[in-house]
Amino acid sequence: MKHYDNYIDGVWTQSETGHNVQNINPATGEILGEVAVSSAHDVDRAVKAAKRAQKSWRLVPAPERAEVLYEVARILKEKKEDLAQILTSEMGKVIAEARGEVQEAIDMAYYMAGEGRRLFGETVPSELRDKFAMSVRVPVGVAGLITPWNFPIAIASWKSLPALVAGNAVVWKPASETPFMAAEFMKVYEEAGLPKGLMNVVFGSGSVVGNALVEHPDVDIISFTGSNEVGRAINGKAGRLLKRTSLEMGGKNAVTVLEDADLDLAVDGIIWSAFGTAGQRCTACSRIIVHEAVKEELEHKLLERVQSLKVGNGADERIDVGPVINKGSLDRIHEYVQTGIGEGAKLLCGGSILNEEDFAKGHYYEPTIFTDVSPHMTIAQKEIFGPVTSIIPVKSLEEAIDVNNSVEFGLSSSVFTKDVNRVFKAMRDFDTGIVYINAGTTGAEIHLPFGGTKGTGNGHRDSGVAALDVYTEWKSVYVDFSGTLQRAQIDNK
Ligand code: UN1
């Protein structure tokens, strides 16, 4: 049976508590192994190691730091299949998606390695003669990363790679549900030759380990992806300490289908983004806003497709929809469905926990579509994080935009139409951080900023060049080579 301890200062180290917790396969109930449960003291040791290591790492030229990232990319590529298998076994997503997720981490490693030769700053003209002005990026210091279970390696790569290439050190608290991917990713960094202390992993609960990271005076920035509730609590505590936070907290994403849309394409996009990862993506399509003229036809086509989806253990290549992460999640999803029925929404398909023999040991939910949902209903407002989506009929693009924007989140939205004018209108007026045209709400690429507006975040972005803004400070530098005292705002006026 596998067992993992914390990784602190380049050594796999037993936690202070000496306790462990089991890691369970959500598809089968099988016990995969166990992992350390840590205390605030373990976090403190990791932060001290990170702080020490960062002192010299910040002086290593960025192109040289990037060499480690190129190695990370190469090793991830070599181990892609093994990592995908482990990912499916502890998280449950189907194997093709697990491979895709590892690929996302590989892409991110190459992309951020390239940043080692860019990390662009700015030079601007000074107001004064014989004076040079520039602004350069400097590392923030120690980054505390708190990452979710739904993309255990991709999201960890979005955060750790830019942090490291920019000259920071990292203390990482991975989700309790997916510790093995965290340990595997750590092993990749180790093999790639990352100097000790720069990346530390502390396993344990959010309330102990996460909290200790947020409150530690030597952690300079917290980057968090997870629930809105936890993100707000983190921001409250970090705010009092004037600590920088980058928060990504979910969505209530909608696909809009207009009356001129290619309906078969729209169905492809909806099925993939509503039921891929069993709906457990922040970007999952959990609302379908459809023009009433094509509602019936769309429902018919969706129903046909949903009935052909195979639910089961994602390790089997033939499966389309895997289990949800755990029993608590399964029950919560079912509760939302009951609430939907109670509020008068109509079930087009699904609506049940799957517990016949094949499914009894895992946590499976039927792909579920509600129809005739009105925008204010609970199922049209709350993030369900499961394979449940809701059809909301509208009469125009304008109404669709209002409905799209009527939720507390602002992560991703999409529109299916062939009309170029409506494409640009939707693109401008959807109030989300990501907009797709003629595609579902998922499928973000790593070299573009990832994140959203309103309750989704606090203005920062993972991925893309925007991620560097999270892990660097601007330093403005003025070099006066005139040999005299030149007073800005005075001597040049
Ligand atoms: C998430 O939605 O939780 O855009 C992350 C996508 C993936 C990442 C999703 N590249 O679907």
- For the segment 377-404, what is each residue's pLDDT rounded down to a tens digit? 999 999 999 999 999 999 999 999 999 9
Which tokens sit at 445? 């690429």
The single residue of 115, 248, 299, 366 carrying the catalytic annotation is 248
Here the ipTM equals: 0.97
CB atoms near residue 123 (< 10 Å): 11
Q: How confident is the model at residue 357 (pLDDT cuts 50, 70, 90)?
A: confident
Atom of ligand 1 nearest to the CA of 100: 10
Strand partners, 477: 134
Q: Determine the distance separating the centroid of ligand 1 and the alpha carbon of 383, expressed in angstroms.
A: 15
Nearest to 296, CA basis, from 348, 344, 368: 348
Residue nearest to atom 8 of ligand 1 (CA): 444
Q: Determine the distance separating the centroid of ligand 1 and the alpha carbon of 479, expressed in angstroms.
A: 44
Percent of the chain at pLDDT above 70?
100
Q: Determine the distance separating the centroid of ligand 1 and the alpha carbon of 101, expressed in angstroms.
A: 9
Query: Which residues have C-beta within 8 Å of that of residue 420, sequence separation ≥ 6?
Result: none
Pairing of strands 253-257, 285-291: parallel
Which of 103, 442, 448 to mutate for ligand 1's pocket (most ligand atoms within 8 Å of CB)?
Answer: 442
Q: Averaged over 466-492, what is the pLDDT?
A: 96
Handedness of CA 289, 294, 295, 297 (dihedral sign): negative
pLDDT of 492: 79
493 pLDDT exceeds 80? no
CATH 1.10.3720.10 holds for 253-437: no
Q: Determine the distance separating the centroid of ligand 1 and the alpha carbon of 155, expressed in angstroms.
A: 9
pLDDT of 204: 97
Segments making up each domain of the chain, as ranges: 2-249+457-477, 253-437
Assess contact for 32 and 25: CB atoms under 8 A: yes
pLDDT of 79: 98
Q: Report the alpha-carbon distance of residue 171 to residue 209 in Å, rounded.
A: 10
pLDDT in tens, 75-108: 999 999 999 999 999 999 999 999 999 999 999 9
Domains 2-249+457-477 and 253-437 share a fold: no
Nearest to 323, CA basis, from 368, 295, 353, 290: 353
Q: Determine the distance separating the centroid of ligand 1 and the alpha carbon of 273, expressed in angstroms.
A: 10
Q: How confident is the model at residue 243 (pLDDT cuts 50, 70, 90)?
A: very high
| Amino acid code (one letter) for 236 | G
Our answer to whether residue 248 is catalytic in this structure is: yes
Percent of the chain at pLDDT above 90?
98
Summary mean pLDDT of the chain:
97
pLDDT in tens, 263-301: 999 999 999 999 999 999 999 999 999 999 999 999 999
CB atoms near residue 150 (< 10 Å): 25
CATH homologous superfamily of 2-249+457-477 equals Aldehyde Dehydrogenase; Chain A, domain 1 (3.40.605.10)
Left, alpha or beta for 348 (phi > 0: left; psi -120 to 50: alpha)?
Answer: alpha
pLDDT in tens, 250-261: 999 999 999 999
Atom of ligand 1 nearest to the CA of 283: 2
Q: Determine the distance separating the centroid of ligand 1 and the alpha carbon of 344, expressed in angstroms.
A: 31
Residue nearest to atom 6 of ligand 1 (CA): 443
Which of 283, 285, 435, 456 to mutate for ligand 1's pocket (most ligand atoms within 8 Å of CB)?
Answer: 283
pLDDT of 360: 85
358 pLDDT exceeds 90? no
Maximum separation of any 2 CA atoms in the chain, in Å: 85
Assess contact for 319 and 91: CB atoms under 8 A: no
| DSSP result, 33-94 | EEEE---HHHHHHHHHHHHHHHHHHTTS-HHHHHHHHHHHHHHHHHTHHHHHHHHHHHH---
109 pLDDT exceeds 90? yes
Handedness of CA 146, 149, 155, 157 (dihedral sign): positive
| Amino acid code (one letter) for 59 | L
Atom of ligand 1 nearest to the CA of 104: 10
Query: Which residues have C-beta within 8 Å of that of residue 421, sequence separation ≥ 6?
Result: none
Which of 102, 281, 456 to mutate for ligand 1's pocket (most ligand atoms within 8 Å of CB)?
Answer: 281
Q: Report the alpha-carbon distance of residue 318 to residue 327 in Å, rounded.
A: 24
Q: What is the DSSP letter of 462?
A: B
Q: 409-438 burial, b for 16+ CB within 10 Å, e for fewer?
A: bbbbbbbbbeeeebbebbeebbbbbbbbee
Which tokens sit at 394? 């509208």
Residue showing tokens 């729209």: 266
pTM: 0.98
Q: Report the alpha-carbon distance of residue 28 to residue 357 in Å, rounded.
A: 11
Q: Averaged over 18-46, what is the pLDDT?
A: 97
Q: What is the DSSP letter of 210?
A: I
Atom of ligand 1 nearest to the CA of 445: 10
Q: Report the alpha-carbon distance of residue 199 to residue 65 in Å, rounded.
A: 13
Nearest to 156, CA basis, from 110, 219, 106: 106
What are the pocket residues of ligand 1 if the criterion is a CB atom closer than 6 Å to any ligand atom? Answer: 104, 150-151, 154, 281-283, 442-444
Distances (CA, A) of 97 to 44, 205, 456: 36, 27, 24
Atom of ligand 1 nearest to the CA of 276: 11
pLDDT in tens, 400-428: 999 999 999 999 999 999 999 999 999 99
237 pLDDT exceeds 90? yes
